[in-house]
Amino acid sequence: MDPRAGLAALPVSRRQLLAGAAVGGGLAVGWWLWPRRYSSPLVPGPNEHGFGGWLTIAEDGVVTVALPQLEMGQGVTTVLAQVVAVELGADWRQVAIEPAPPAGLFANTALAAKWAPLWSRLPGLADDPDGLLAERFARSNAFCATAEGLSLAAYEQPLRAAAAAARALLAMAAAERWGVGWEECEVAAGLVRHGEQELGFGELAAQAATLDPPDPPPLRVEPASEDPSPAEAELAPAFPRLDLPAKVDGSFLFAGDIRLPGMVYASIRHGPLGKAELTAFDKEAVAGLKGLVGVVKSKRYLAAVADSWWIADRALAAMRPVFAGPAAVESAGALRALDTALAEGEGERIVTEGDPDGALARPDYAQDYSVAPAVHAAIETASATARFDGGKLELWIAAQAGELTRRAAAKAIGISPQDVVLYPTAAGGSFDARLERRHAIEVAQIAQQIGRPVQLTWPRQQELQLVPVRTPVSARLEAGFVPASGGRIAAWRTRLAMPATMREFGHRLFDNNTPEAAMEHAAGEADTLACEGAVPPYGIAHVAVDHLPVTLPFPTGPMRGNAAAYTAFFIESFIDELAERAGRDPFLYRIEMLGQTPRMADCLRRATRLAGWDGGRRGTGQGLAMVRMGGPGEGGGPGDGGGRIACVAQAALGEGGLRVTRLHAAVDIGRIVNHDIARQQIEGGLIFGLSLATGSSVAYEDGRPVPARLAGLSLPTLADCPEIVIEFLASDAPAFDPGELGVAVAPPAIANALYSATGVRFRRLPLLSEGL
């Protein structure tokens, strides 16, 4: 069945206008460089001129940009709309966005290419240097997923091309009226001008719709980075966030805010991990309960539906559901299996540079590190609303992989994906939790059985138990030194004992496997994506990375920061230890190994200047770390991709535990598209990294998460947040999403600062958790 079939008929009934302009439609300007068979799911309304595509221009001048990515707080709503506004020449006050259903036109080909090992099961298909196979997969499957910080990489150029075509059409329409060449017209601030003559976008929309655009569309000169001056960027931002006013006044719609006529509310209970099957419950305990609409029994859950969520949740507590299975999960023993594999197991080689095994026949220094399972802990737990009527399902949900979510819901209730309409809503946080689809399946099943619109919201304990955790890892790092060199590293080997966590996730996402089946399919597989970032960003001649796959009894998956959130902790902690063994300043020790990476070296120098680096002396409480993510290795030219960050943390240990007082970071993310949002993402990433350093971890006892509430996760409060100072480095390199960098760099910087403050080396995340 063609997954694109029927997409063009899906109406978008809820248009979000977030920029102070009135709701309007108008000229839909398509992206003509892709085949027309990738039709747009945006259906023109009254007085609109629909060509299908990325943006509309209404007759009142409002420019509405299709948003194919999930807004999770990362600012993609504003960044993608800004790309259009700049290329089109629109006034920012006339720009709005419209969440777009999945469609081949909006495919995220960049993410499909990176995740090729997850959806391609045939050897060689993942080796796709031109990206043609990935593009074909993404477009034919309407793969518009939001992940890995690839929104700009995937959508900037298509959006610019669509906006450039629209700009040309508007100029052509005005030029016809004035009898001049359209190339002579200027388009800026929402107006088309020629000499003293000017016309607004709205006045030209209908006429422009009848014209043919130039092929290829005339792009403006590549936009330069904004001035990185903090004062100018923060006091007078050129592109304030579109979603901010609605979030401040409470009118912004998240998944849990949907309200439909006749809607009822559902809560749910699942069995503890390892005991998945429902065997008994006391239905008589809720007989006659006022407000209870119904009870839905499934093999894997029990749901109660009522006039309010509170009534539904209390009904579940009264019914005391019982679940059975082979054995409830106990994480303590499972995690010991990681250490056993590290000590005794044979790994599969992921990376080899030079002759690391020969150089490390007898390592000069080796050390073990580990990270515990980490939870996403989004403020909004899994929520979705469904209406099933006449064999059709409508689904309101915050989904990072919308089309795959749509298909999973359809399969669960035995209907065609063509009979499912997905209305994208924003997420109240995610950190990749909304790549999972279990709650979409459940709300579809409940709505089908109840026969009324239903909103399902998971209780916090269910969220912490069922959303797969970021994988635990045990790691051994080994180094060999160049003789008589003052500790210069000649060889490096990283061994990572952990599940094939990304392959496991891929089986859930692309094959719609249950968590148990996904773990079984991924067992024993080596996982390159799970080891990403394990090659140190230093000039070391001989490097090896080995993955030792370990099967755990609980599911794992991606989380904000991805693999770099643990590999950077291992690498940067180990580098500090090697610097100390060599009697060297940790900054100078690092900088001497960055001769071929000038952008990374510049970040490191800037961060230490910002923080007033004192050499990392004992008792000062300063710690240093750096991370490079994404893109090829750098040679110093403007084409070098990826992002870089260096951070100096100031920390101490007192009666209240770990206290981080300052974080100074220097950041190079190439060309900065929106300075405000880049700063927000770095600051938020650093605080998220702080949460990984202090908490965010769970254990499983009798198959249930401990702790089971946010209050027990040791998350930083507002009072715990340190002073944060950020400096962006000017660069004309390709733009890089900044959302993951701070997450990866904060934990090792804080760990190294804690060692400076106390003289005790903490080699486990969360810090201060050794032996727990």
- The share of the chain scoring above pLDDT 90, in percent, equals 83
Whether the pLDDT of residue 729 is over 60: the answer is yes
* φ, ψ for residue 189, nearest 5 deg: 55, 30
What pLDDT is recorded for position 236?
40
User: Using CA atoms, how far apart are residues 243 and 143, in angstroms rounded to an integer?
Assistant: 25
User: Using CA atoms, how far apart are residues 150 and 139, in angstroms rounded to an integer?
Assistant: 16
User: CA separation (Å) from 561 to 129, 191, 747?
Assistant: 25, 42, 11
Please write the tens of the pLDDT for every residue from 679-725. 999 999 999 999 999 999 999 999 999 999 999 999 999 999 999 99
Whether the pLDDT of residue 38 is over 50: the answer is yes
Q: Are 433 and 374 in contact (CB under 8 A)?
A: no
User: Using CA atoms, how far apart are residues 373 and 468, in angstroms rounded to an integer?
Assistant: 9
* φ, ψ for residue 408, nearest 5 deg: -65, -40
Going by their DSSP bridges, the two strands 699-701 and 657-668 should be labelled as unpaired
Instruction: Report H helices in 345-401.
Output: 356-359
User: Using CA atoms, how far apart are residues 605 and 387, in angstroms rounded to an integer?
Assistant: 57
Please write the tens of the pLDDT for every residue from 132-160. 889 999 999 999 999 999 999 999 999 99
What pLDDT is recorded for position 11?
33
What pLDDT is recorded for position 20?
29
Q: Which tokens go with 199?
A: 């016309």
What pLDDT is recorded for position 495?
98
What pLDDT is recorded for position 771?
43
pLDDT grade for 30, boundaries at 50, 70 and 90: very low
Whether the pLDDT of residue 60 is over 90: the answer is yes
Q: Are 731 and 614 in contact (CB under 8 A)?
A: no
* φ, ψ for residue 475, nearest 5 deg: -135, 145
User: Using CA atoms, how far apart are residues 502 and 612, in angstroms rounded to an integer?
Assistant: 40
User: Using CA atoms, how far apart are residues 354 and 545, in angstroms rounded to an integer?
Assistant: 12
What pLDDT is recorded for position 17?
34
Whether the pLDDT of residue 511 is over 50: the answer is yes
Residue bearing the bigger pLDDT, 388 or 31: 388
pLDDT grade for 632, boundaries at 50, 70 and 90: low
User: Using CA atoms, how far apart are residues 10 and 402, in angstroms rounded to an integer?
Assistant: 14
Question: Which among 125-139, 362-376, 629-643 has the top mean pLDDT?
Answer: 362-376
Whether the pLDDT of residue 6 is over 70: the answer is no
Q: Are 631 and 736 in contact (CB under 8 A)?
A: yes
Beta strands in 166-251 (DSSP E): 186-188, 191-194, 197-200
What pLDDT is recorded for position 702?
96
* Three-state SS at 477: strand
- DSSP letter at 267 equals E
Helical pair 151-178 and 76-88, crossing angle rounded to 10 deg? 30
* Three-state SS at 117: helix
The stretch 233-258 carries a mean pLDDT of 83
Q: Which range is least confidently modeled, 125-129, 383-387, 470-474?
A: 125-129
Q: Could you count the other beta carbons within 10 Å of the beta carbon of residue 121? A: 12
| Maximum CA extent, the chain | 83
Closest CA to 496 of 478, 476, 510: 476
Q: Are 457 and 313 in contact (CB under 8 A)?
A: no
Please write the tens of the pLDDT for every residue from 396-434. 999 999 999 999 999 999 999 999 999 999 999 999 999
Closest CA to 18 of 93, 83, 86, 85: 93
The stretch 657-667 carries a mean pLDDT of 97
Q: Are 341 and 474 in contact (CB under 8 A)?
A: yes
What pLDDT is recorded for position 489?
97
b/e string for 79-88 if b means 16 or more Cβ within 10 A?
Answer: bbbbbbbbbb
Question: What is the average pLDDT score of the chain?
Answer: 90
pLDDT grade for 170, boundaries at 50, 70 and 90: very high
What pLDDT is recorded for position 770?
66
User: Using CA atoms, how far apart are residues 672 and 732, in angstroms rounded to an integer?
Assistant: 9
198 contact partners, CB below 8 Å, separation of at least 6: 191, 192
Residue bearing the bigger pLDDT, 37 or 69: 69
590 contact partners, CB below 8 Å, separation of at least 6: 538, 575, 579, 604, 624, 626
Burial class (CB in 10 A: 0-12, 13-18, 19+), 219: middle
What pLDDT is recorded for position 654?
86
Q: Which tokens go with 446?
A: 């409940």
Across the chain, how many H-helices and E-strands are there? 21, 30
The helix, strand and coil proportions of the chain, stated in percent and rounded to the nearest 5, come to 35, 20, 45
Q: Which range is least confidently modeled, 6-15, 305-314, 451-460?
A: 6-15
The stretch 648-655 carries a mean pLDDT of 94
What pLDDT is recorded for position 127?
61
625's enclosing H/E stretch is strand 622-629
- DSSP letter at 538 equals S
End-to-end CA distance of the chain: 51
343 contact partners, CB below 8 Å, separation of at least 6: none
What pLDDT is recorded for position 43?
67
Closest CA to 41 of 366, 379, 406: 406
Whether the pLDDT of residue 37 is over 90: the answer is no
User: Using CA atoms, how far apart are residues 19 and 96, in angstroms rounded to an integer?
Assistant: 6
Residue bearing the bigger pLDDT, 14 or 628: 628
CA within 13 Å, CB half, 477:
23
Name the amino acid, one letter, at 328: A
What pLDDT is recorded for position 772?
38
b/e string for 8-18 if b means 16 or more Cβ within 10 A?
Answer: eebebeebbbb
110 contact partners, CB below 8 Å, separation of at least 6: 150, 153, 154
Whether the pLDDT of residue 2 is over 90: the answer is no
99's enclosing H/E stretch is strand 95-99
Whether the pLDDT of residue 234 is over 70: the answer is no
The stretch 583-599 carries a mean pLDDT of 96
Whether the pLDDT of residue 19 is over 70: the answer is no
User: Using CA atoms, how far apart are residues 312 and 21, in angstroms rounded to an integer?
Assistant: 40
- To which residue do tokens 């034919």 refer? 140
The stretch 71-92 carries a mean pLDDT of 96
Residue bearing the bigger pLDDT, 769 or 251: 251
Beta bridge partners of 392: 389
pLDDT grade for 24, boundaries at 50, 70 and 90: very low
Whether the pLDDT of residue 9 is over 80: the answer is no
User: Using CA atoms, how far apart are residues 591 and 602, in angstroms rounded to an integer?
Assistant: 9
pLDDT grade for 39, boundaries at 50, 70 and 90: confident
Distance of alpha carbon 224 from the chain centroid: 25
Cis amide bond preceding 216, omega within 30:
yes
- The share of the chain scoring above pLDDT 70, in percent, equals 89
pLDDT grade for 299, boundaries at 50, 70 and 90: very high
User: CA separation (Å) from 224 to 220, 233, 419, 508, 630?
Assistant: 11, 14, 45, 40, 21
Closest CA to 313 of 355, 363, 272, 265: 265
b/e string for 546-581 if b means 16 or more Cβ within 10 A?
Answer: bbbbbebbbbbbbbbbbbbbbbbbbbbbbbbbbbbe
What's 393-461 look like in SS3?
EEEEECCCCHHHHHHHHHHHHCCCHHHEEEEECECCCCCCHHHCCHHHHHHHHHHHHHCCCEEEECCHH
Closest CA to 384 of 423, 430, 431: 423
- To which residue do tokens 């059409």 refer? 169
pLDDT grade for 128, boundaries at 50, 70 and 90: low
* Three-state SS at 742: helix
